[in-house]
Amino acid sequence: MKIIFSLFILLTLACVSLQMSSCTKDKIPLPALTTDCPDTISFQSTIYPMINANCSTSGCHDASSAGGYNLTDHAQISQNADRILRTIRHESGVQSMPQGQAKLADIVALQLNCWILQGKLNN
């Protein structure tokens, strides 16, 4: 009887342990980025205002370069565009941005991706 009770306890502990380890937060897959961009994305009216509002704010990625990247003009933004895209999508291997804020809307990442695919035009 003692052996059956010990097996029961061992089996119960194994089940509880398995359940506890499977309760970790599952990662939600990132939405796929499109390669079919119906419109030309304008740097001046779409990309720059998004960067200006979310990235190159005072003390972040502005002229002071406090955040390590200066994202105040087309050259700097286009040079770092792929990294910017990964950070705003909260991909693994990069620090999620904007720091301390919620993830930007998926449409922002889609627009940035289309701008990259279209050659990072200064339009």
Read off the amino acid at residue 122: N
pTM: 0.71
Report yes or no on 15 lying in a domain. Answer: no
5 pLDDT band, cuts 50/70/90, is low
Report yes or no on 28 lying in a domain. Answer: no
Q: Which domain holds residue 98?
A: 37-123
Report yes or no on 119 lying in a domain. Answer: yes
**Residue 30, phi-psi category: left (phi > 0), alpha (psi -120 to 50), beta (remainder):** beta
Residue 27, token pair as written in the block: 């990662």
Report yes or no on 85 lying in a domain. Answer: yes
Considering all CA atoms of the chain, what is the largest pairwise distance in Å, rounded to the nearest integer? Answer: 81
Q: pLDDT tens-digit profile of 70-104?
A: 898 999 999 999 999 999 999 989 888 988 888 89
Question: How far is the C-alpha of 86 from the C-alpha of 77, rounded, in Å?
Answer: 13
Report yes or no on 27 lying in a domain. Answer: no
Total number of domains in the chain: 1
Q: pLDDT tens-digit profile of 9-50?
A: 655 655 555 555 544 444 566 667 777 888 899 999 999 999
Report yes or no on 115 lying in a domain. Answer: yes
Report yes or no on 90 lying in a domain. Answer: yes
Residue 66, pLDDT > 80, answer no
Report yes or no on 31 lying in a domain. Answer: no
